Chains A and B, each alone.
Chain A
């Protein structure tokens, strides 16, 4: 009886957990989201310009590195005849992991009717799009002959060449291309009603025209909303399996090989959870920045950080369990190379990085057991950054450890990154930040129509 009453009381308060009183009217929601876009002169954009300048420099460094890779070849990296993948593929997996999370979070939370998604889904989806785009660059630049990358596509040619459909790299190509295009569609559909709101709020001609064209003439009629809801929900239903398949395929790039530490059936699900983990961490970082930058305290509340931290906590436990399963299977399977690899992970050349990875991904996130930590935006932000570093270490070590320590001891070599390895890794943050900064300046960062609905439900007598 008491339990029932508690549940009912919580339900009643549910929509109100996700907004502060100052954002609890339909007008206020629009005003808060629209202000930086249409009344931009009233804002100090100094931090934005500093961020823009820094990310522009990083983007140029990234492009310079790509130019050198294309002109001099992949030999400028630290790759050698044993560790053939280096950082490019680790960066790829890291970015595609982040690139998975936006759609995963947005569509899964939609299907599970998690109302708090209203104020986070827009920038999570934007993050997905930008991260997946950057991820798509890495497999191309890691090719010895990148100019032939289009051989992955089936097209009529005089060489009678067809793609090898049994290859995980072909699956990768199709999964990424389908995923990026699908994500653009999902994102745009959700944006149409918001573009219409911007068109209606615009006081000058150019934004009214541009947002008006993007809104396609949306007027919010009941028929439009009905079809919109059907489409959005159906896209979310398809988005979840697509995302899961995409990162499973990334896992299969490794699992379909014959290498110790890679050839494991746990890889596809373990990669999907890893993607969700790093993605939630990135969303939490971006949420903190958006909240601070656009003064959206009324729409992105500490309750949001609380739930995101809980998801990260759950994911960190699953990750820890996955690592332990790998170690157990290596021991239980009895294969010499597998056991030797686990020993190499804990005590070999890259051991400090491995211990750091366990600390970042498994130990530090346990702080989220404490509500005070989950409700502190700064603490969540710092731990989220640590998780992203840990996830990068995980991906880099999956590659370096196995390749450095495979079946044949005579071929064992270690990887030393060169300047260009670091340039391509840190440089790739540049275009991501650049695209995100342009996005926040032109497109509403929070879904206005979904937040309006959330607020209206809270106000309902």
Chain B
């Protein structure tokens, strides 16, 4: 399989190419853009990210742990009668689980983000590709795998160019 990187000048052409690539028997691998393009994740049908469930789970877990610590210290380990106030003073105990829960939810979200995006990934053959640096500026790149046979391949490249590709470069994998 030959993988090529097609370069577009704006997101409209990129999204159109991502949608139409399948018609010419290309497999769309990924797209690289200077900013998030919502239509793309639909065209590339990514599965839904697990960031939010992970954050929810982490937050609830930390909040439960924090409340458990407060309960253990104030009710079980060192019960202390201060003016007849209840030992398990839940309204006063709410802040610590809340704040630490949010903190751990954030940390879990970040960890999931790293796992799902494959970061850190400091060395990737992609960075050596000519023109890749402009994906963080003003170019929209589409990575596609061309069909096996020669005529299909040239037809696919022609289609990409017709859809607005400024250049189509072959890349190593």
Contact = CB atoms under 8 A, between A and B. Distances in A.
Interface of A: 25-27, 30, 154, 160, 162-163, 165-166, 170-171, 174-175, 177-179, 181-182, 185-186, 189, 192-193, 196-197, 199-201, 212-213, 216-231, 234-235, 238, 241-242, 245-246, 249, 449-450, 452-453, 456, 460
A226 B41 contact: yes
Interface of B: 10-12, 30-37, 40-41, 44, 46, 49, 51-52, 55, 59, 69-70, 73-74, 77-78, 82, 85, 89, 92-93, 95-96, 98-100, 102-103, 105-107, 109-110, 112-114, 116-117, 119-124, 126-127, 132-138
Given A166-B85, A227-B113, A182 B106 contact: yes
Contact of B138 (A26, A174, A199): A26
Contact of B113 (A193, A231, A460): A231
Contact of A217 (B46, B102, B123): B123
Contact of A228 (B69, B78, B117): B117
6 contacts: A26-B137, A165-B92, A174-B99, A181-B103, A212-B122, A226-B49
A192 B77 CA distance: 45
Nearest to B78: A162
A143 B51 CA distance: 41
Contact of A162 (B55, B73, B132): B73
Contact of A229 (B36, B44, B82): B36
A225 B31 CA distance: 10
A375 B107 CA distance: 40
A225 B113 CA distance: 10
A219 B135 contact: yes
Given A165-B70, A165-B73, A223 B55 contact: no
Given A174-B99, A231-B109, A234-B55, A223 B92 contact: no
Contact of B30 (A222, A230, A245, A452): A222
A27 B89 contact: no
B69 A456 contact: no
B133 A200 contact: yes
Contacts of A222: 30-33, 37, 40-41, 44, 46
B130 to A, nearest CB: 12
Contact of B74 (A162, A229, A245): A162
B89 A453 contact: no
A217 B122 contact: yes
Contacts of A224: 117, 119
B30 to A, nearest CB: 5
A216 B35 contact: no
A238 B106 contact: yes
A233 to B, nearest CB: 9
Contacts of B30: 221-223
Contacts of A234: 51-52, 55, 109
A242 B102 contact: yes
Contacts of B73: 154, 162-163, 165
A160 B78 contact: yes
4 closest A-B pairs (Cβ-Cβ)?
A217-B121, A26-B138, A200-B133, A178-B99
A220 to B, nearest CB: 5
A171 B110 CA distance: 25
A182 B78 contact: no
A174 B137 contact: no
A225 B119 contact: no
Contacts of A189: 110, 113
Contact of A219 (B36, B51, B126): B126
A354 to B, nearest CB: 32
Given A162-B73, A166-B85, A230-B49, A220 B135 contact: yes
Given A185-B110, A224-B117, A449-B136, 8 more contacts: A165-B74, A175-B99, A179-B99, A182-B102, A218-B117, A219-B132, A452-B137, A456-B11
Contact of A27 (B82, B96, B137): B137
B33 A220 contact: yes
**Which of B59, B96, B123, B132 has the most CB atoms of chain A within a 10 A radius of its CB?**
B96
A236 to B, nearest CB: 11
A185 B36 contact: no
A219 B127 contact: yes
